[in-house]
Amino acid sequence: MAEVATQPKSKANIGSLRIGLFTDTYAPQVNGVSISLQLVSEGLQRRGHQVTIFAPRIPGYTDDQPGVVRLPSLKYLNDPPIYVAVLGTPRSTWSLTRKHFDVLHAHSPLTVGLLAYFTASTKNLPLIYTYHTSITDYTHYLKIIGGTGVIRHAARWFSTTSTNLGDQIVVPSPKFHRLLLEQKVNKPIHTIPNGIDLSNFKAAKNPGSFRSRLGLKSDAPILLSVGRVAPEKRLDFLIDAFVRMSNRVPEAHLVFAGDGSALQKLEEHAAATKVKDRIHFLGMVNRDELPDLLHDATVFLSASTTEVHPISVIEAIASGLPMVAVQDEAFEGMIIENENGHLTPLDVNAFSETLVKLLSDPEKLERYGKCSTELSKKYSIEAQVRSLEDLYIEAILQNWRGSFMSRISAKLKF
């Protein structure tokens, strides 16, 4: 029976757990999974647990945090660059056989995730699996065989099969909880929202720094998008909506922060508009500077319908930003209509009209911003870590009971 775990419970004096986290994407790659995983690992360590992260080796990159084991890898895709760990090598086998764990937690279904499953099976350990991404939304990256209906069907089958390898399943949002039920996932499903260090986004360290960098006045409205620049994010839609509203709010500017495979095409799209001087591309922004950028902005935008529980949105509401996004279940609880923002149809006219009305109402902008700050309080990394900790303990106890009963049953049969 599916289960929702949204409120952390308290368990005292549980001791230090030995936790293995397995991921196919990690630093220096910047995406929601890698950021979330780093925050979770740091949070678990602060609570006294021993954490080891297994991830593919990225050529030329050296980790500056302890406890990261890099596995031999091959480059699978160039754009975006994706590395896949090679299983069965002496390095990967030695790394796992020499370590002792209480629980394993896989964060992806590819080779490192499969390594977690094989290790859990071999060592009789509980396996938690977090379903971060609907891979059927990304079949367009399989250029060799194409994003056809056959490929989407195969991706759906693989998604269900790999998810069912876990003993307990974690999803970051109700959207994915419903999706996994539709896909006939038959393991317990727990909804544990992503969390961030809210204190980092309470205030800007250098107020106005990005406005100065862009040469913008202190009162110029900044419409901000932060995240990976990829086709599925529909950032061209934001440009089209901005062009549509540009004459009615001539002092507004559109700012993109992020890098990705669609950046050049997006820049060309912007350059062909009549408002190219009011559209800015910052590229990848250092995470230490991100609070400054968010606090310089006026409204946060999203046109993506492939999100899960986007950390970029949590960071935006934690910074007190009003929100305007295309309707999607991923924003459930984070963007509430007429409270901290608006959700519109995937329609340029509707989106631009919503922005014009919001920017013309300073009182509403202020009220929405305050509401965003309040809504963000339930998305702390501390709450996420405590919920995961409780799930780890539950999985360990269930695994122990199962092993105990199996031994008893075997003895009785003998």
Q: Do residue 353 and residue 263 come from a single domain? A: yes
Q: What is the residue whose two structure tokens read 């968010």?
A: 294
- Token pair, residue 335, equals 């963007």
In a domain, 407, yes or no: yes
In tens, the pLDDT along 125-134 reads 999 999 998 7
Judge if 53 and 106 occupy the same domain: yes
Q: What is the pLDDT of residue 154?
A: 80
Are residues 133 and 228 located together in one domain of the fold? no
Whether residues 290 and 402 fall in one domain: no
pTM: predicted TM-score of the whole model, two decimal places: 0.89
For 217, what's the count of Cα atoms within 13 Å in the CB-facing half-sphere?
A: 6
The confidence score (pLDDT) of residue 152 equals: 73
184 and 206 part of one domain: no
Q: What are residue 170's DSSP bridge partners? A: 130, 190
User: How many domains is the chain partitioned into structurally?
Assistant: 2
Burial class (CB in 10 A: 0-12, 13-18, 19+), 106: buried
Say whether both 120 and 220 belong to one domain: no
Instruction: Report how far residue 390's alpha carbon sits from residue 11's, in angstroms, rounded to the nearest whole number.
Output: 7
Tens-place pLDDT, residues 270-285: 999 999 999 999 999 9
Residues 219 and 149 in one domain: no
pLDDT at 326: 98
For residues 309 and 193, what is the distance between their CA atoms, to the nearest angstrom? 7
Looking at the structure, do residues 135 and 220 belong to the same domain, yes or no?
Answer: no
The reply to whether 333 and 253 lie within a common domain is yes
**Which pLDDT belongs to residue 123?**
92
Q: What is the pLDDT of residue 1?
A: 41
Considering the domain boundaries, does residue 148 fall inside one? Answer: yes
> Which CATH number does the domain housing residue 286 bear?
3.40.50.2000
Core vs surface per residue 36-59: b (16+ CB within 10 A) or e: bbbbbbebbbeeebbbbbbbbbbe
155 and 218 inside one domain: no
Is the same domain home to 269 and 149? Answer: no
User: Which range marks the domain in which residue 341 is found?
Assistant: 198-376
Structural domain includes residue 221: yes
pLDDT in tens, the chain (414 residues): 444 444 444 444 568 999 999 999 999 998 889 999 999 999 999 999 999 999 999 999 999 999 999 999 998 777 667 888 988 776 666 667 678 999 999 999 989 999 999 999 999 999 999 999 877 655 555 554 444 667 777 878 888 899 999 999 999 999 999 999 999 999 999 999 999 999 999 999 999 999 999 999 999 999 999 999 999 999 999 999 999 999 999 999 999 999 998 999 999 999 999 999 999 999 999 999 999 999 999 999 999 999 999 999 999 999 999 999 999 999 999 999 999 999 999 999 999 999 999 999 999 999 999 999 999 999 999 999 999 999 999 999 999 987 655 555 555 555
Residues 320, 337: one domain? yes
